[in-house]
Amino acid sequence: MSDTTLALAGNPNSGKTTLFNALTGARQHVGNYPGVTVEKKEGIHVHEDRRFKIVDLPGTYSLTAYSLEEVVARDFLVNERPAAVIDIVDAANLERNLYLTLQFMELGVPVIVALNMIDVAQQRGISIDTAVLSRLLKVPVVATIARRGEGKAELIEVAERIVGEGIRPQGLDISYGEDIDHALAEMEQAIIAANLLTDVYPARWVALKYMENDEQILSLGRQADAALSASLEAIVTRVTDHIKATHDLYPEAVIADHRYGFIKSILQQGVLSVKHDRDRLYMSDRIDSVLTNRFAGPLIMLAVVWGLYQFTFTYSELPVAWLEGFFGWLGGMAEAYLPDGLIKSLIVSGIIDGVGGVLGFVPLIMFMFLGIAFLEDSGYMARVAFMLDRVFRVFGLHGSSVMAFIVSGGIAGGCAVPGVMATRTLKSPRERLATLLTVPFMNCGAKLPVFALLVAAFFASHEALVMFIITLVSWAGALLVAKLLRSTVVRGESTPFVMELPPYRLPTFKGLLIHTWERTWQYVRKAGTIILGISIVLWALMTFPGAPDAVKQQFDTDRQAVTVASPAAAQEIENAAEGATLSAAAQTLQGKLDGIAALEAEADLRYSVAGRIGTALETLSHWAGFDWRTNIALVGGFAAKEVVVSTLGTAYSLGAVDPEEAVSLSTKLATAPGWRPLTAISLIVFTMFYAPCFVSVVCIAREAGGWKWGAFSMVFNTVLAFSLAVVVYQVGTLLGF
Amino acid sequence: MRIPMRQMQDNQSGTIRAVRADGELGRRIRDMGLVPGTEIRIQGRAPLYDPVALRVMGFTLTLRNNEADFIEVEVD
C-alpha cells in the first residue's frame, strides 16, 4: 500500500516543527523542494495499517506569490495533492492564524485545523469552543499541545477518517463586497468556459488571484491563454479603477479587509471568549522590557554571544581531547603495524590525519549548534534582528540579514551554504544580493578548525577572547564590504521590515537535539565525503612526482658518508633492540641520519606538484608571511575551508623529523620555523576573507542568478583578503611584532 | 484624532483607520492583520528608536518608522 501524504502547514512560531517532531520522531528526511533550495522535511507516521508520509511545509503567514516559501507551499498543495493539510493554528493568536487557514480553504484542499498551544491560550484567559469553530468553518478542529504530544493521536484519527471515507472539502466562498463579488463571478464563468488552469486550481481561486494581482498566476494565465488573460485583466482594471475612485483602495486591500472581517464574525459567534484584556502584559513582555531595553538590551546581547563562546569552548574541550587522542592512537597503530611504503603513507598521512583533523572539531561544532538552536527556538534571535535593524540598514542590509549572517557563522560555527540559502527570506533582490555576497566572510564551522588551530598554537592563554575578536573583525569586514557593494555594484532602495516577535518559549529538549543533530550531521557528511576525497587528492599532489633521482642520490651519499665516518656507532644502531638506550656516539649518528631524512622528506614535498605550486606562489605570498606549506593549504581551502587544517597536518607530518611521535599539529606550528604570532594573525585574516569554498560559490551563483556573481565572489574576496593580510603582516613587522 | 503610527507614543493605543501602502509592503502589513478596524498599542521601540514594536490581536509585530508612516491610526 502506498503512503498517504499529509502536509503540515501554518504560521512561523505556531509550533509546526514541534508537532512534526512529535508525529514523526526520529524518522525524518531533510531535502529540498525540486528546483529550489527551500528545505523540505519529510517523515513517516504509521497508524494501524496506514503509512502517513508527513511533509513539513515552510512556515508562512499567507499564500501570495510574495515569497518563495509561500510559492513552494502552494505549489506543493496543488501539484502533490496531499490527502489533507494539517494547519497548525496558534490558539493564543487565532485571528491572524486563521487568515492562512482561509486561504488553504479557498485553494480547495482538505484542511484539518490543529489548535495548538491550547494550554497557553487558557493561561491567558482565552477559551475557544472548538465545536462551534469546526461547525462555522466546516472543517475538523482538534485541540493540541504539540510540546507534550497531546492531540496528535486524535489528529491522525481525523486524517484517517478523511482519507478512509474520501471526505471532500466543502469549499469556502467569502464575500468580498458587491463590486469584487460580481467581477469574481463573471471571471469564474469565463475561466470555467475556457478551462483556464482549472486542471490544477479552482476557477474562483484563479479569479481571486487575478484580482490580487498575483504575479505567478498572471504569468501562468498569460502563457496558457493570452486572449482570455487579457480580458480577465481588463475586468480587474475596471474594478480596480472603480474601487480606487470610490474608496481610495486597491482590490487586494479590500480582499484582506473582508478576510479579516469574516474571521472576526466567526470568532464573535461564540467561538472565542477572552477573560482579561488581550493586550495585557505577559511574562514574555516583561522579559522583553529588559532584553530589548534601550540600555540593557545591547549589553545583554553582547553577553549572550560571549556566553555562547564560553559554553562552546568550555564544554567541548574534553570530547575534543578524546577524539584527538583516538586519531593519534589510530595513526600510531597504522604507523607501527603497516609495512613502510606508499599505502602506509596514504593511510596515515592522507586518510587518518585528514579525517581526524576534521572530525576532531565535531564536538565544538555540536555545542555551537546547540547554543544557536536554543537562541533560535527560544525567540531571542528575532529580538536580535529587531535591535540590529537600524544598524544593518546603515550598511544597505535588512534586519533579517542578521539570520543569514548568523547561520553563516555570525555566531561562529555556522556554514555559508545554508547561510546563502537563508537569504531567500529577504524580499529585496538588492539587500539579498549584498547579504549573500558578504555572508561567506563570517566564521563558518569549517574556518573554526583553522582559527582554533592557530589560536591554540599562538594565543592559547586567551583562547575565548581571541575567538571573540575574530568574530567582531569578520562582522566589521562583512558590513563594510556590504556597504561598499550597496553603493557600487548593487545600488538601490531598501525593503519592508514587517516581522513578528514571537513570545519567549523554553525550547523543547527533543527539538534542540534534532536541530543540532541535523546540522552536525550535515557537517560530518561533508567532512566524510568531500574532505576525505580532497585529502587523498592532496596526498597524491604532495607525494608525486617526488624529488629527482640526482637529489635522492645526494641524500644517499650523505647517509653513506656519516655512516662510514663512525662504523662502530652504525653497527650499534643496526643491532640495537627496539627502545634500547644508545651510546653517545650512536645517538649523534642517529641525530645526523634523522636530520638527513627530514631534509629528504621536505625535498620530496617541495618537488611534488603541490610543492611546486606553493613555491611558485611564495614570491607573492611572502608579503603576507605565508610559506609554500601555507600556500598549499590555502589552495586546498578553496575546496572546503577545513581542508586548510588537514593539509597543514599532512604537510607537516610528511616533512617532520619523527613521524612516530604523535605531536599535535598546533604544538608543531608553535615551534615550526617561520611561524610567529603575526604570521598566525595574517593567516587568520586571509582565511576569514578569501574566496568561499566551491560549494558556497556554486550556491552564490545559483542564488544570485548567474555565474558572474560566483566568479565575482572568488576574485573579489581573494584580492581583498590578500591586501588585508599584506597590510597586517607588513605593518606588524614594521612595528616589531 | 487621526495620526500616522510613527507619531504615536510608547504605550499609546488606537484603532487603524487606513493603510496607504500598496505593493509588497501593503501585502505584508495586511497579512499580519494590520487592516482598518484593528486595535493596536505601541509596545516600544528598538534601542536606536527604530523599528517600532506594536501589540496587535495579542501578538507583537515590528515595523520600521518609515513603514509606520503609511498607517493612519485613530488614537484613544
Kindly report the average pLDDT of chain A as a whole number: 85
Q: Which residues of A touch B48 (CB under 8 A)?
A: 387, 390-391
CA A300 to chain centre: 25
Q: Do A146 and A122 share a structural domain?
A: yes
The answer to whether residue A291 is domain-embedded is no
Question: Rounded to 5 degrees, what are φ and ψ at A3?
Answer: -70, 145
A254 and A322: one domain?
no
Domain encompassing residue A342: 296-450+460-486
Q: Are A634 and A626 in contact (CB under 8 A)?
A: yes
pLDDT in tens, A225-249: 999 999 999 999 999 999 999 988 8
Q: Which residue is associated with the grid cell 471568549?
A: A273
Does residue A58 have a cis bond before it (omega within 30 degrees)? no
Q: Which residues contact A584 (CB under 8 A, 6 or more apart)?
A: none
pLDDT tens across A484-542, in order? 999 998 887 777 788 889 989 888 888 888 878 877 776 676 556 666 776 677 778 77
Q: Which residues contact A207 (CB under 8 A, 6 or more apart)?
A: A183, A184, A187, A188, A191, A232
Cross-chain residue pair A99–B59, CB shorter than 8 Å? no
Q: Given its phi and psi angles, is residue B11 left (phi above 0), alpha (psi -120 to 50 degrees) or beta?
A: left
The answer to whether residue A51 is domain-embedded is: yes
Could you list the residue range(s) of the whole structural domain that residue B21 is in? Answer: 2-75
Number of domains in chain A: 3
Whether chain A has a CB inside 8 Å of the CB on B65: the answer is no
Question: pLDDT band at A476, cuts 50/70/90?
Answer: very high
Q: Which of B28, B47, B59 sits opposite A498 (nearest CB)?
A: B28
Distance between CA atoms of A108 and A98, rounded to whole angstroms? Answer: 15
- B41, B47, B57: residue with CB nearest A387: B47
Which set of grid coordinates corresponds to residue A248? 481610495
Query: Where does the pLDDT of residue A655 fall: very low under 50, low under 70, confident under 90, or very high at 90 and above?
Result: very low
Please report, for the domain that includes residue B46, its CATH number: 2.30.30.90
Tally the residues of chain A: 737
* Cβ contact, residue pair A252, B24, below 8 Å: no
* Same domain assignment for residues A430 and A306: yes
Is the CB of residue A717 less than 8 Å from the CB of residue A691?
A: yes
Measured between CA atoms, how close is A231 to chain B, in angstroms?
Answer: 22
Per-residue pLDDT tens for A312-328? Answer: 767 877 887 888 788 88
Residues linked to residue A9 through DSSP beta bridges, in sequence order: A87
Q: Which residues contact A481 (CB under 8 A, 6 or more apart)?
A: A437, A438, A441, A720
Same domain, yes or no, for A440 and A359? Answer: yes
Q: Which of B29, B47, B50 sits opposite A498 (nearest CB)?
A: B29
Interface of B with A in 42-61 (CB under 8 A): 43-44, 46-51, 53, 55, 57-61
- Is ipTM over 0.90? yes
Residue A44 lies in a domain: yes
Domain contains A688: no
Alpha helix stretches (DSSP H) within A91-129: 94-106, 118-123
Does A466 map to a domain? yes
Pairing of strands A84-90, A4-10: parallel
Q: How many helices and strands in chain A, by DSSP H and E?
A: 34, 10
As a whole number of Å, the end-to-end CA separation of chain A is 72
Q: Given pLDDT bands bounded at 50, 70 and 90, which one contains residue A127?
A: very high
Instruction: Count how many pairs of residues, chain A against chain B, have C-beta atoms within 8 Å.
Output: 130
What is the rounded distance in angstroms from the CA atom of residue A467 to the CA atom of residue A469?
5
- Across A84-98, b (16+ Cβ under 10 Å) vs e yields bbbbbbbbbbbbbbb
Residues A44-60: pLDDT tens digits?
999 888 899 999 998 89
Contacts of A332 (CB under 8 A, 6+ apart): A660, A662
Examine residue A583 and state whether it is found in any structural domain, yes or no.
Answer: no
**B25 shares contact with chain A (CB less than 8 Å):** yes
Contacts of A557 (CB under 8 A, 6+ apart): none
Number of folded domains in chain B? 1
Contact check, Cβ <8 Å, B27/A62: yes
pLDDT in tens, A583-594: 888 888 887 887
Distance CA(A684)–CA(A359), nearest Å, equals 21
In a domain, residue A347? The reply is yes
User: A222 and A146 in one domain?
Assistant: no
- Which residues of chain A have a CB within 8 Å of the CB of B43? 285, 288
Q: Which of A126, A279, A498 is the closest to B55 by Cβ?
A: A279
